[in-house]
Amino acid sequence: MATAILDLDLEQLPTVIGGLEGYRQALVLFRLRQQPLARGMLPVVDGRIAGAELRDLMLSEVGWSFEDPWLRIYLGLGAAPPMACKLPSATVAICTHGRPDDLHHSLEALTRLPDDGQELLVVDNRPSTEETRTLVGRYAGVRYVREDRLGLDVARNRAMREARNDVVAFLDDDAVPDPGWLRALLPSFGDPLVLCVTGLTMPLELETEAQEWFERYSGFGRGFKQRTFEWGNTNPLRAGIVGAGANMALRRTVMEQVGLFDEALDGGTPTLSGGDTEMFSRILASGYRIVYAPAALNWHRHRRTWDELRRVLYGYGVGVYAVWTKQLLFEGELTVPKLALGWFWGSQLPALLGSLLKLKGSMPADLLFAELRGCAAGPWAYLSSRRRLQQERRKGHRAARSGH
């Protein structure tokens, strides 16, 4: 049975929630006047959840995390103080590859965001049909760009170059922005050292066992406290803790200050993932800051089938080790082997032993083995992808010199 998703405001908790037949439990997001504060799980009994259970869960999960927004509201202090400088202009970019059905839902929500003058951009990565172009054409004000070189980081770089505004906010084609998403991403750019802001990503649905396990083991959420990451408090080699590419915004000047996304990484290449984490790592290593802003909320549709989930976790394993391979071999980060060993002994091996011993709540072994196989494939995947990219660039340079 599936898990229902409930989005509730603390000031309007219902006395009872019904209509949950077919669900065994509910994932509850608690907010205070749109500000996400906490999440928790409740069992569903006979298709219902009682208001008393909601209040008990709220008290246990929210605790005092509501103190700052609550005090500001009830002491008449209003919202957080406005930034001294004007908010930067934004381009919202969706990089997509052959998923027009998902893209449709993203565009529907994106075009309903408050109009603050943002530019809307879709980068269609090596399309095999005209479906995406046709779909985008139905939305006034959404600009379509075709990028024929395959690769998510290739598409991201194209978006960075095409964007006409100061900040590029990236949204996955299988993610839906909350109404306040973009407005919550932008204020932190008032700090000139902030090159990137990430947000909170919640599951759009948990209708299948695969989606439930993804959220449990590898979900995109990073908590409900705003945090600033920089060299002094975060190891750049552990940059995955700052957020995910499904919900991130970058200054366009990152191209000059840090460089573009590594096109040997992420979807469409042998490395399968890792492009966002590697960019986060470079930002931190260069002395700049990344802010995690949980008020910047979006909703992600996780892959629905077990085979898809296995492929996703395999790809994540490949991506992590591909990034570490780059950092070890080409950037001289000699602590990478220690980091990899710590992850294996401290997390992966205990999880695998728990699964093999059939401990309650343990991760299914086939998913853990998929991730480990990906880790083993990561180093060669990065070297292969890097070599292929260099060959493509040499071919492009030769073609340019010959005038073709």
What does the pLDDT profile of the chain (404 residues) look like in tens digits? Answer: 699 999 999 888 999 999 999 999 999 999 998 899 999 999 999 999 998 999 999 888 877 655 665 655 555 544 444 444 578 999 999 999 999 999 999 999 999 999 999 999 999 999 999 999 999 999 999 999 999 999 999 999 999 999 999 999 999 999 999 999 999 999 999 999 999 999 999 999 999 999 999 999 998 989 999 999 999 999 999 999 999 999 999 999 999 999 999 999 999 999 999 999 999 999 999 999 999 999 999 999 999 999 999 999 999 999 999 999 999 999 999 999 999 999 999 999 999 999 999 999 899 999 999 999 999 999 999 999 999 999 998 887 777 777 65
Q: Backbone phi, then psi, for 49, in 5-degree steps? A: -130, 130
Segments of 132-274 assigned E as strands: 142-147, 167-171, 175-177, 194-203, 227-229, 247-251
Place of tokens 């996780």: 302
Residue 213: which of 5, 362, 374, 357 has the closest Cα? 362
Give pTM, 2 decimals.
Answer: 0.93
Counted residue by residue, the chain has a size of 404
Name beta bridge partners: 3: 25, 206
Who contacts 323 (Cβ-Cβ below 8 Å, separation ≥6)? 265, 274, 277, 278, 281, 382
Alpha carbon 134 to its chain's center: 27
**Given this model, what pLDDT does residue 401 score?**
77
**Given this model, what pLDDT does residue 402 score?**
76
Q: Which residues of 133-158 are buried (b: 16+ CB within 10 A; e: fewer)?
A: eebbeebeebbebebeeebbbbbbbb
**Given this model, what pLDDT does residue 72 score?**
57
Structure tokens at 383: 């070297």
Who contacts 347 (Cβ-Cβ below 8 Å, separation ≥6)? none
Alpha carbon 387 to its chain's center: 28
**Given this model, what pLDDT does residue 79 score?**
43
Q: Backbone phi, then psi, for 132, in 5-degree steps? A: -70, -45
**Given this model, what pLDDT does residue 137 score?**
97
Cβ atoms of 101 and 158 closer than 8 Å: no
Query: What ranges in 93-238 are assigned the alpha helix state H?
Result: 100-110, 131-137, 152-162, 181-185, 209-218
User: What is the SS3 assignment for 292?
Assistant: strand
CA pair distance 44, 41, nearest whole angstrom: 10
